[in-house]
Amino acid sequence: MSKSNDTGHVAAAGSGGDTESQSSQSRRPVGEPSLAPEAGFHPGGPTKIAIVGVGLVGSTFAYTLLLSGVAAEIILIDANKERAEGEAMDLNHAVPFAHPTKICAGDYSDCAGATLTVIAAGTNQKPGETRLDLVKRNAAIFGQIVPQVARANPEGIIVVATNPVDVLTYVTIELAGLPANRVFGSGTILDTARFRYMLSEHLGVDPRSVHAYIIGEHGDSEVPVWSLANVAGMRLPSFCAENGIRLGPDDMDRIFRQTRDAAYEIITRKGATYFAVAAGLMRLTEAILRDQNTVLSISSLVHDYYGIDDVCLSLPTVVGRRGIERVLRLDLSPHEARGVRKSAEVLRETIASLNLSRG
Ligand SMILES: NC(=O)c1ccc[n+]([C@@H]2O[C@H](COP(=O)([O-])OP(=O)(O)OC[C@H]3O[C@@H](n4cnc5c(N)ncnc54)[C@H](O)[C@@H]3O)[C@@H](O)[C@H]2O)c1
């Protein structure tokens, strides 16, 4: 994994956070940043976020960002410029109920100075189209998007949300030419959240108190790490024995199936999923802007892990201001290790079918 040589912004982000000098800081009141331009104050400095693709996922993420107040400036970019403008107008009208935030439709040059650019642009599977056809189409779309983002913002972080997210993260690393710690995918942050939610329902505790991860592909070959799942440091067999909860193989199978197949179930009912992924992207953004060193199961370029090499998949990863700080190389059970190797094979085959030339 290549290491970033960027210096990174280390000032506190979020409401009022920026990298301006001490003297200009002293000219501004403490609290929410002013929207009025002030000499030396760059509201779009460390808390500017660009979103490419403002369909359901991108626009819901923008809304979540606005309500959170962590971003000072949000740029919306879409091939459908009118859509981006409409979303910007609608979101701006929520500002009086939320936080001072500058939101506008823009183009790729506006990615300059963004701490991160989230890419949620893509097309959906057409009737009769194979998954691989879709991968090729979205990879071609990324061929238009990624070089422009990287050119406009060579110091920024790129986060991929478009599916298949692991393959497109690999494609983005190839196209962007940025250090690998600054290019990653949302990976299994959503699957991990679903897993923790399903487990919390079964165990009768807050999902935030359930520590359990889905690793590997964001998709059918993903792997639940049962062997390390715990509540309060108690592995699940002890926790369940202590609390009189049954957790047999059939329960585990059901919980995992509900996790893995959740997207299909939601899409059958409402056509798309976007709230939970937007909340996950928001959590990832906050971890970066506030340099929180949060552990999140994002997709990154993995080398030399249980025989896996040169493929993007998800592992618990420490995320902070520089992007990926560390990837945590879990000690897996033999069954889980076989699962993640299988996941890597599936992804490798898809990547190979794209015939990318390694730069
Ligand atoms: N990673 C996850 O956990 C997760 C979860 C849900 C959805 N997704 C994925 O997110 C992606 C977006 O989903 P959605 O529901 O928002 O789709 P959508 O169709 O609502 O939005 C896609 C947007 O991309 C734009 N677009 C297409 N080509 C473009 C280009 N060349 N440049 C700029 N913009 C372009 C479209 O105009 C559209 O506004 C899909 O690939 C979906 O599978 C990922």
Q: Are residues 277 and 172 in the same domain?
A: no
For ligand 1, atom 31, the nearest C-alpha belongs to 141
List pLDDT tens digits, range 187-205.
999 999 999 999 999 999 9
Residue 124 lies inside a defined structural domain of this protein: yes
* Cα distance between the two ends of the chain: 15
Do 129 and 87 lie in one domain? The reply is: yes
Assess whether pLDDT exceeds 80 at residue 34: no
Distances (CA, A) of 262 to 10, 149, 284, 340: 38, 32, 21, 20
Q: Using 50, 70 and 90 to split pLDDT, how confident is the model at 11? A: very low
Q: Are 134 and 231 found together in one domain?
A: no
Number of domains in the chain: 2
pLDDT in tens, 37-64: 444 444 444 599 999 999 999 999 999 9
- Out of 143, 161, 185, a domain closes at 185
Average pLDDT over residues 136-160: 97
pLDDT the model gives residue 218 = 95
Expressed in angstroms and rounded, the spacing between residue 63 Cα and the centre of ligand 1 is 16
Give the Cα separation of 246 and 101 in Å (integer): 48
Q: Is the CB of 120 under 6 A from ligand 1?
A: yes
Any domain includes 145 = yes
Output the pLDDT for position 10.
30
208 belongs to a structural domain: yes
Provide the CATH number for the domain around residue 119.
3.40.50.720
114 Cβ closer than 6 Å to some ligand 1 atom: no
What distance in Å separates the CA atoms of residue 189 and residue 155, rounded to the nearest whole number? 24
Atom of ligand 1 nearest to the CA of 161: 1
Minimal-distance CA residue to ligand 1 atom 24: 121
CATH number, domain with residue 217: 3.90.110.10
Residues of the chain with pLDDT > 90: what percent?
Answer: 81
Q: Are 201 and 208 in contact (CB under 8 A)?
A: no
Residue 27 in this model has a pLDDT that exceeds 50: no
How far, in Å, is the centroid of ligand 1 from the Cα of 301? 22
Same domain, 276 and 336: yes
Q: Residue 334 phi/psi, 5° resolution?
A: -55, -40
- State yes or no: is 303 an active-site residue: no
The pLDDT score that the predictor gives to residue 357 is 63
Over residues 86-110, the mean pLDDT reads 96
Find the mean pLDDT for residues 53-82. Answer: 97
Give how far the C-alpha of residue 295 lies from the chain's centroid of Cα atoms, to the nearest Å: 12
Please check whether residues 151 and 217 belong to one and the same domain: no
Q: How far is the CA of 30 from the centre of ligand 1 (A)?
A: 38
In this structure, the answer to whether residues 209 and 346 fall within a common structural domain is yes
The residue among 164, 185, 206 that closes a domain is 185
Range of the domain at 305: 189-353
Closest CA to 176 of 124, 123, 108: 108
Residue 158 has pLDDT above 50, yes or no: yes
